[in-house]
Amino acid sequence: MDASTEAARGLTDIETFLYREAHLRAARRRVTDFTARAPGLTEEQKSGIERWYLEEQIYVARMVTDHIADSISVMEEQHRGRFGRWLRGTMIAMALITVVAGLCVTVVIGSLR
């Protein structure tokens, strides 16, 4: 793997990490605000709710990410198929043009004799 590929992968990893941390920080803030407004909860109950909510947010984020990755994979496969068909059609057209051009040259040379 060359340096530019490694650098691009590293930047993607950093971006993913920062996005995930920002999402979790916002989730922590939401659940802390929620538990602060719920009267009568013990610290242990608040901690349990916060832990559950953050685990749920991590699970949901993973599910969304997997769904997006699967959708991208499907789209890439469809694009690859369309491009393959287009390329085959182009190659067939070029072969036919070459054959027709060859026949035209043969007819022109044959008519000069």
What's the Cα-to-Cα distance from 39 to each of 9, 27, 29, 46, rounded to whole Å?
47, 20, 18, 10
Across the chain, how many H-helices and E-strands are there?
2, 0
pTM over 0.75: no
Tens digits of per-residue pLDDT, 71-112? 989 999 999 999 999 999 999 999 999 999 999 999 999 888
Give the model's pLDDT for residue 66: 86
Distance from chain centroid for Cα 44: 40
Contact 50, 88 (CB under 8 A): no
Tens digits of per-residue pLDDT, 26-71? 999 999 999 999 889 999 999 999 999 999 998 988 898 889 889 9
Domain ranges of the chain: 3-112
| Torsion angles phi and psi, residue 107, rounded to 5 | -65, -40
